[in-house]
Amino acid sequence: MSDRGPSIAEHVTAVRARRVRIPDLVSDSLQRISMRNRTLGAFLHVLDEEARARAEALQSRLERGAWPGPLTGVPIAIKDNLCLRGVPTTAASRLLAGYRPPYTATAVARLLDAGAVIVGKTNLDEFAMGSSSEQGAFGPVRNPLDPQRVAGGSSGGSAAAVAAGMALGALGSDTGGSVRQPAAFCGLVGLKPHYGTVSRYGLIAFASSLDIIGPLARSVDDCARLWRVIAGRDRWDATSRDAEDRDPEGGRSLAELRLGVPRDWVGGRIEAPVREAFERFCAHLAARGAELVPVTLPDTEAGLACYHLLADAEAASNLARYDGVRYGSRAPEAGTLAALYRRTRGRGFGGEVRRRILLGTYVLRAGAYDRYYRRALRARDAIRAAFDQVLAGLDAVLTPMTPTRPFRLGTHLRDPLRMYASDRFAVMPNLTGWPALTFPITKPEARLPIGGQLCGGPHSEVRLLRLAAMLQGGGAA
């Protein structure tokens, strides 16, 4: 077993064989949180009493001969934009300080139904708007592998919790790379499922046509186990759908794979160590028989612009409800209703959220809607069509996950465009709506991890998980 704790499979096997007790394993997780969270800032709310009580209840069920489910006793962390009934849910914003939802997100409920133990709610960029988990109202998240560097965003707390062994797996949300980028920065596996295959019910909305909940874990197998539990249609989310297995040739070997590699992306603005690690990884795969096919994908700068136009417009619409009257903490009375709105939103929202609301509001105004928002919708259709054409005859497209390694805390905060550029490889799968997965392509002993990304076609989660396991076995740089 790893020094960061057992894998999910090892944990469940040990619990079922009665070699370990659930309360002891959950206590170990909570002890790690107690020891490391003050430094890392991964958790906003630790459910110490609740987790211990649930562990005892699950152990009692086990001793009575019941088997609660495939995640029995597994300590899981959830991002603090996912609702858990009666537990503070802030989305790292002062506007939601003190909010305790009266319901539980479907994805979280499915974890609980499978026997998981929720140990806490993790830190993030405010309302999931960011790429470093530094822009929340309650302090930054630090990377467990180097606390002077970011853990990535916006699901940085979830990634840090798993990388530091404080939880065996976690849920995050991915609107433009927010599961995959922090997973890459922390040396983890992160999956963005096909849009709609995981219910968004109980997820505090950022950009509704792009948001998707996804798992983070230390291995492909652990990630797959979490995805299988949370996936599927939900009557509370009209956009949800059943997950499908689009991997009819699951027994193929590494030597039979055809992977597209976008050389134009790799040769663009990318940090030299990332480019070199990616090229070494590709050389490993080619030496083991995989066919790497050069492909041309849509320009990343155009994709990034398209993403921000759509995401910020939807964010401006979604966050209009937080006015201190219908939703959100209210500022002191200000004389008029308009003044109350201004004071509530001005004090409650952080700088990055205000920036995106202003941009999105401008994009949706009369005179700009056709020029920007409608053109971005057409661009998204073109990007999806281009990916569909490229993927024909390929198992997947392989890219670097990020253009840089984890950067130092504070270095990108004063330059929003530099921060946004962190997502240039991440946003394309959100625009297509199709699955993507990141996994480490450097050896575990590497000081700063580097992630690769597999992009697939519709409902390709099973294929991407299988390919990632196969590619990791093919060698690391």
pLDDT band for position 282 (cuts 50, 70, 90): very high
> Which class is domain 8-230?
alpha beta
Q: Specify burial of residue 317 (Cβ count, 10 A radius: 0-12, 13-18, 19+).
A: middle
Phi, psi of 282 (to 5 degrees): -60, -40
Identify whether the C-beta of residue 172 lies closer than 8 Å to the C-beta of residue 214: yes
Band of residue 148 on the pLDDT scale cut at 50, 70, 90: very high
Q: What's the rounded Cα separation, in Å, for the pair 372 and 225? A: 40
CB 415, CB 140: distance < 8 Å: no
The pLDDT > 90 percentage for the chain reads: 84
Query: Is 188:97 a contact under the CB 8 Å cutoff?
Result: no
Q: Are 101 and 85 in contact (CB under 8 A)?
A: yes
HEC letters along 33-48:
HHHHHHHHCCEEEECH
DSSP state of 371: I
Q: Name residue, tokens 């201004």.
A: 342
Residues 378-402 have pLDDT tens digits of 999 999 999 999 999 999 999 999 9
Q: Whole-angstrom Cα distance, residue 72 to residue 395?
A: 34
Is pLDDT at 476 greater than 60 in this prediction?
Answer: no
- Environment class of 287 (CB within 10 Å of its CB; exposed 0-12, middle 13-18, buried 19+): exposed
What would the pLDDT profile of 235-279 be if each residue is shown by its tens digit?
A: 999 999 998 876 655 657 888 999 999 987 776 679 999 999 999
| Tokens representing residue 91 in the block | 């989305």
> How much is the pLDDT for 267?
62
Instruction: Give me the pLDDT at residue 1, please.
Output: 35
* Range 84-89 contact pairs with CB under 8 angstroms and sequence separation of 24 or more: 84/108, 84/118, 84/121, 87/45, 87/47, 87/50, 87/121, 88/44, 88/45, 88/121, 89/121, 89/204
Q: Is pLDDT at 3 greater than 60 in this prediction?
A: no
Average pLDDT over residues 228-236: 97
> Mean pLDDT score of the chain, rounded to an integer?
93
pLDDT for residue 340: 82
Mind listing the pLDDT tens digit for each residue in 194-204? 999 999 999 99
**pTM of the complete model:** 0.95
Q: Which residues are catalytic?
A: 79, 154, 178
| SS3 per residue for 152-180 | CCCCHHHHHHHHCCCCCEEEEECCCCCCH
CB 115 within 8 A of CB 71: yes
d(CA 112, CA 303): 37
The Cα 236–Cα 239 span in angstroms is: 9
Q: What is the pLDDT of residues 127-142, one digit of tens each?
A: 999 999 999 999 999 9
Closest CA to 51 of 29, 19, 18: 29
pLDDT computed for residue 2 by the predictor? 40
The three-class DSSP label of residue 317 is helix
- What pLDDT shows up at residue 249? 58
Interatomic CA distance for residues 196 and 233, integer angstroms: 8
Tell me which long-range contacts 359-364 makes (C-beta under 8 A, separation of at least 24).
Answer: 359/308, 359/312, 359/316, 360/311, 360/312, 360/313, 360/314, 360/315, 360/316, 360/317, 361/316, 363/309, 363/312, 363/313, 363/316, 364/313, 364/316, 364/317
Closest to 383 (Cα-Cα) out of 270, 306, 269: 306
* Weakest mean pLDDT among 18-27, 83-92, 194-203, 262-271: 262-271
C-alpha 237/C-alpha 277 separation (Å) is 41
Please tell me the distance from the alpha carbon of residue 187 to that of residue 217, in angstroms, as a whole number.
Answer: 9
* Residue 137 C-alpha from the chain's centroid: 19
Q: Residue 189: which of 204, 210, 168, 203 has the closest Cα?
A: 168
pLDDT at 326: 76
Give tens-digit pLDDT for 289-346.
Answer: 999 999 999 888 899 999 999 999 999 999 999 988 877 888 777 678 888 888 888 8
Calculate the alpha carbon distances from 331 to 335, 343, 358 in Å. 11, 6, 20
- Structure tokens given for 75: 């300590």
What is residue 150's three-state secondary structure?
A: strand
* Sequence-ordered list of residues with C-beta below 8 angstroms from that of 15, at least 6 positions apart, any chain: 21, 22, 25, 62, 72, 73
Instruction: Tell me the C-alpha distance between 115 and 93, whole Å.
Output: 30
Domain with CATH 3.90.1300.10 in the chain: 8-230
Q: For 211-217, what is the mean pLDDT?
A: 98
* Alpha carbon distance 304, 437 (integer Å): 19
pLDDT of residue 346: 84
The answer to whether residue 424 scores a pLDDT higher than 50 is yes
Closest by CA to 468, choosing from 454, 451, 449, 447, is 454
User: Is residue 206 classed as helix, strand or coil in its secondary structure?
Assistant: coil
Could you tell me what percent of the chain has a pLDDT over 70?
Answer: 96
Backbone angles phi, psi at 268, to 5 degrees: -80, -150
Is pLDDT at 217 greater than 80 in this prediction? yes
The per-residue pLDDT for 475 is 53
